[in-house]
Amino acid sequence: MNNNLYFTTIFALTAMLLQTKVLSAQETIYGTNNYIEYQVGNLPIVLSVPHGGRLAPSTIPDRTCNNAETVTDINTIELAKSISNALYELTGCYPSIVICNLRRSKIDCNRNIEDGACGNEEAITAWKEFNSFIEQAQTKAQENFKGNIFFVDLHGHAHAIPRIELGYLLYGSELRLPDDTLNKTKYINYSSIKDLAKKNQNNLSHAELLRGELSLGTLLGEMDYPTVPSQQIPYPEIGEGYFNGGYNVANHTSYLSGNKVNGVQMECYYAGIRDTEANRNKFGVAFAEILIEYLSIHRNVDVSNCNTLSKKEIAQEPINIYPNPVKRAERNLFISGIENLQSSYFLYTVAGKIIEFGEIDNNLIHFKNELNEHLYTLSIQNPNASTSFKLIVE
């Protein structure tokens, strides 16, 4: 047999045997010990769920530093998945979701690292991975949708009034200010939708985006989910419970200088939204419809027919890697089948620990560090597909 034909045949067979899965839209990547979970999406929507986890490893002590809050936001992970499923049914695509699977007694991923991890090394690693995954998800969505994405930090509250609380980083006392005051630069700069206030399709003011006819809260209220702030409930009264937003919206939205992401902390009440699967699914459909409408109204983004590639379509143009096995000293890996699509790679151990990640440049992965002799999982992602391989280093 011709040597070139022989090696070409061997490469093709190896790639087919080592390819473990080809997903039409979404793949899940786990951080160290599966404490953090990143469901990779392809919509301009990123959800994070910091307080819904149930894992309580004995190697991480319960948090006691700085009067730690440890209450779990019950069923918020399940609620995020209901929203994701509804978006897929409506568009054919998924949002990105970043989930903390640890109990809040072990870590708080909506606090700074000192208060959130209380100095424990495992918790510090998980905290960093949670924030890194949010950044990865937002960067990917920003690139694919020209900056027109929306971030939702999903929570649950137990305040006396059963209504959704949208936290734009403005205090209740600030929301009680007149519209003219909220439209001043000072208050726009306090806001997690600062970029949207400066640039939106209908030239709406900051106050109109917070509680006007086309605000997120008003759209939710019209779906029979009372929300503050909104046209129906423009602000919380003095003495009423209200969460205005925390670390995640302060650090992953346009409130932060240089960031173009718009977003909100969303606090959902229990009975009627989070309590049963039927209610979670009902809300998931309503909120999915609202998010689609919201992006269309304010940024002219149409995701109503995302048309994710089917498995059959992807299989006709398979993504392959070469060489595999790869020599330990060889840091370059060639990728075929991605054409001109902007693609990223994630390399992690079979236990789920991320080793490194980055962009694929000219169909080539150049590993930053020399790899040990080991079996790894290599995930390749682009707007059309996510593909994973077993990568052998020898």
Please give the Cα distance from 263 to 167 (Å, whole number): 9
Task: Answer yes or no: is 271 within a domain.
Answer: yes
Pick from 237, 267, 299: which residue ends a domain?
A: 299
Q: Do 249 and 355 have their domain in common?
A: no
The Cα-based distances of 98 to 133, 168, 201, 288, 370 in angstroms read 7, 20, 29, 17, 29
Q: Do 295 and 354 have their domain in common?
A: no
User: What is the average pLDDT score of the chain?
Assistant: 88
Confidence of residue 357 (pLDDT cuts 50, 70, 90): confident
The pLDDT, as a whole number, for residue 177 is 99
Q: Among candidates 291, 387, 245, 306, which has minimal Cα distance to 82?
A: 291
Work out the number of other CB atoms within 10 angstroms of the CB of residue 75.
Answer: 20
Cα 74 to chain centroid, rounded: 19
The pLDDT, as a whole number, for residue 292 is 94
Pick from 299, 327, 356: which residue ends a domain?
A: 299
The pLDDT, as a whole number, for residue 385 is 67
Q: Do 261 and 339 have their domain in common?
A: no
Tell me the backbone φ, ψ of residue 2, rounded to 5 degrees.
-60, 130
Report whether pLDDT(311) > 50. Answer: no
Q: Among candidates 367, 379, 301, 380, which has minimal Cα distance to 341?
A: 380
Pick from 237, 268, 299: which residue ends a domain?
A: 299
Please give the Cα distance from 390 to 47 (Å, whole number): 29
Task: Answer yes or no: is 383 within a domain.
Answer: yes
Q: Among candidates 22, 109, 20, 93, which has minimal Cα distance to 60?
A: 109
pLDDT digits (tens, 9 = 90+) for 108-132: 999 999 999 999 999 999 999 999 9
Task: Answer yes or no: is 135 within a domain.
Answer: yes
Confidence of residue 384 (pLDDT cuts 50, 70, 90): low
| Average pLDDT of the segment spanning 296-321 | 66
The pLDDT, as a whole number, for residue 340 is 67
* Peptide bond preceding 57 in cis form (omega within 30 of 0): no
Report whether pLDDT(305) > 70. Answer: no
Question: pLDDT exceeding 90 applies to what percent of the chain?
Answer: 66
pTM > 0.85? no
Report whether pLDDT(170) > 90. Answer: yes
Q: Do 251 and 333 have their domain in common?
A: no
Confidence of residue 314 (pLDDT cuts 50, 70, 90): very low
Task: Answer yes or no: is 260 within a domain.
Answer: yes
Q: Do 328 and 231 have their domain in common?
A: no
Q: Do 176 and 259 have their domain in common?
A: yes
Q: Do 376 and 262 have their domain in common?
A: no
The pLDDT, as a whole number, for residue 280 is 98
The pLDDT, as a whole number, for residue 315 is 37
Q: Do 289 and 326 have their domain in common?
A: no
Tell me the backbone φ, ψ of residue 187, rounded to 5 degrees.
-80, -30
H-helix or E-strand containing 3?
helix 3-18
| Average pLDDT of the segment spanning 221-234 | 98
Question: Where is average pLDDT lowest: 8-17, 164-173, 230-239, 335-344?
Answer: 8-17
Task: Answer yes or no: is 306 within a domain.
Answer: no
* Torsional sign, CA 108, 113, 119, 125: positive
Higher-pLDDT residue of 253, 23: 253
Q: Do 180 and 49 have their domain in common?
A: yes
Task: Answer yes or no: is 309 within a domain.
Answer: no
Report whether pLDDT(336) > 80. Answer: yes
The pLDDT, as a whole number, for residue 352 is 60
Question: pLDDT exceeding 70 applies to what percent of the chain?
Answer: 88
Could you tell me the residue range of the domain that residue 200 belongs to?
Answer: 27-299
Confidence of residue 7 (pLDDT cuts 50, 70, 90): very low
Q: Is 176 left (phi over 0), alpha (psi -120 to 50) or beta?
A: alpha
pLDDT digits (tens, 9 = 90+) for 70-114: 999 999 999 999 999 999 988 889 999 999 999 999 999 999 999
| Average pLDDT of the segment spanning 126-150 | 93
Please give the Cα distance from 122 to 56 (Å, whole number): 12
Q: Do 108 and 212 have their domain in common?
A: yes
CATH of the domain at 265: 3.40.630.40
CATH of the domain at 13: 2.60.40
* Torsional sign, CA 344, 255, 127, 157: negative
Task: Answer yes or no: is 308 within a domain.
Answer: no
The pLDDT, as a whole number, for residue 323 is 87
| Average pLDDT of the segment spanning 34-62 | 97
Work out the number of other CB atoms within 10 angstroms of the CB of residue 225.
Answer: 22
215-221, long-range: CB < 8 A, 24+ apart: 216/166, 216/264, 216/290, 216/294, 217/164, 217/166, 219/290, 219/293, 219/294, 220/164, 220/286, 220/287, 220/290
The pLDDT, as a whole number, for residue 350 is 57
Three-state DSSP class for residue 316 = helix
Tell me the backbone φ, ψ of residue 109, rounded to 5 degrees.
-85, 15
b vs e for 136-156, b when ≥16 Cβ sit within 10 Å of the residue's Cβ? bbbebbbeebeebbbbbbbbb
Q: Do 163 and 87 have their domain in common?
A: yes
- Residue listed under structure tokens 């040597």: 3
**Taking a C-beta distance cutoff of 8 angstroms, is the pair 116, 83 a contact?**
no
Q: Do 96 and 172 have their domain in common?
A: yes
The pLDDT, as a whole number, for residue 68 is 95
Work out the number of other CB atoms within 10 angstroms of the CB of residue 132.
Answer: 16
Confidence of residue 312 (pLDDT cuts 50, 70, 90): very low
Number of folded domains that form the chain: 2
H-helix or E-strand containing 140?
helix 121-144
The Cα-based distances of 65 to 69, 72, 108, 343 in angstroms read 10, 17, 11, 41
Task: Answer yes or no: is 252 within a domain.
Answer: yes
